[in-house]
A and B are shown apart, each in its own frame.
Chain A
Amino acid sequence: MADPVFIAVAVLTVGSAIIALETKELIYGAIALAICMMGIAGFFLLLDAPFVAMFQIAVYVGAVAVLIIFTVMLVNTQGLFTSKEDRKRKAAGITLMLIMIASLGTLLIVSGLNQHQAGFDLPPIDIKALGQQMLTYYAPVLVILGLTLAGSIIAALALARREEVEQQPNERTD
């Protein structure tokens, strides 16, 4: 049986994920999404992966959530409220969600994963092994990942740039 810490983190994560999608105001949804990401980081800590948990908090709670909150602030107030939601489509969505949970959950329980004693009592992965893997076997991937990040940041800047500013008459004399 699962321990109480796990149940608390699970309720926090799933509950704040639902709140992120269902609350009326988008900014509360962004904050709930940040709390959901913190819950996922808590799961990583329960899985003895402190480095991934730290990375998750730094990237998701530190960068992504703040970015989303700034975008929500840029969008004006009438866009912040979810208007006109089709009741029929919502019912269909909830049905789809329940069918997914039931079918995939049954598949997981029937699959015999709970009989097979997984290696949770084996010693956890050393953080040194992680660093060694990332800097030897996965070193090219790391370089390409850095280039991808740089490219996407430049692309985001180019997308969000205002072009009207350049077209205004330039009053400087140079």
Chain B
Amino acid sequence: MSELIDFLIVAVVLVAIGVYGLVVKRNAIRMLFSIEIIANAANLTLVAFSRGIPNAQGQVFALFSIAIAAAEVAVGLGLIIVAYRLYKEVDVAEYKSLKG
């Protein structure tokens, strides 16, 4: 039987991988992947604590968080497409000006 701390350690490892991706990668789509991995680790922590207490609120928050993440991905990909049209590039190092 697995315990609470096992899930938390997996979440910590996922957050660390996401931070590594955000720091190292310069591809905008890959940075979005990293953000998704971090958000999923947060959801895993919420549901793990909700099972450990046990209390339904953690699961409710996880559901809301998943829905918000879906909205965030939609807007983020729209921004990436606009930036790609302007610069013909998905490398964030090339996005140098805020000019439209």
Are A36's CB and B40's CB within 8 A?
yes
Residues of chain A contacted by B72 (CB below 8 angstroms): 152
B98 at the interface (CB under 8 A from A): no
The residue in chain B whose Cβ has the minimal distance to the Cβ of A18 is B17
A165 at the interface (CB under 8 A from B): no
Residues of chain B contacted by A46 (CB below 8 angstroms): 2
Question: Which of B5, B9, B56, B78 meets A129, CB within 8 Å?
Answer: B56
Q: Name B's interface SS.
A: helix
Please tell me the size bucket of the interface on B. Answer: 35 or more
Q: How far is the CA of A60 from the CA of B52 in the complex (A)?
A: 25
Residues 45 to 95 of chain A near chain B (Cβ within 8 Å) = 46-49, 51-52, 55-56, 59-60, 63-64, 67-68, 71-72, 74-75, 79, 82-83, 85, 89-90, 92-94
Residues of chain B contacted by A20 (CB below 8 angstroms): 33, 37
Are A108's CB and B12's CB within 8 A?
yes
* CB of A151, distance to nearest CB on chain B (Å): 8
Are B17's CB and A52's CB within 8 A?
no
Residues of chain B contacted by A157 (CB below 8 angstroms): 78
Residues 41 to 98 of chain B near chain A (Cβ within 8 Å) = 43-44, 47-48, 50-57, 59-60, 62-64, 66-75, 77-82, 84, 89-91
Are B52's CB and A120's CB within 8 A?
yes
Are B5's CB and A125's CB within 8 A?
no
Are A141's CB and B20's CB within 8 A?
no
Question: Which of B6, B12, B33, B64 meets A21, CB within 8 Å?
Answer: B33
Are A64's CB and B54's CB within 8 A?
no
* CB of B11, distance to nearest CB on chain A (Å): 9
Please tell me the size bucket of the interface on A. Answer: 35 or more
Q: How far is the CA of A124 from the CA of B67 in the complex (A)?
A: 23
Are B51's CB and A82's CB within 8 A?
no
Residues 1 to 42 of chain B near chain A (Cβ within 8 Å) = 1-10, 12-21, 23-27, 29-30, 32-34, 36-37, 40
The residue in chain A whose Cβ has the minimal distance to the Cβ of B64 is A145
Are A71's CB and B8's CB within 8 A?
no
Are B89's CB and A79's CB within 8 A?
yes
What are 17 of the A-B contact pairs (CB < 8 Å)? A20-B37, A21-B33, A37-B40, A40-B44, A44-B47, A47-B47, A59-B66, A60-B69, A64-B36, A67-B73, A68-B33, A85-B24, A100-B12, A113-B8, A120-B1, A153-B74, A159-B82
- Top-10 shortest CB links A-B: A159-B78, A152-B71, A118-B52, A93-B24, A156-B78, A97-B20, A156-B74, A100-B16, A6-B2, A118-B4
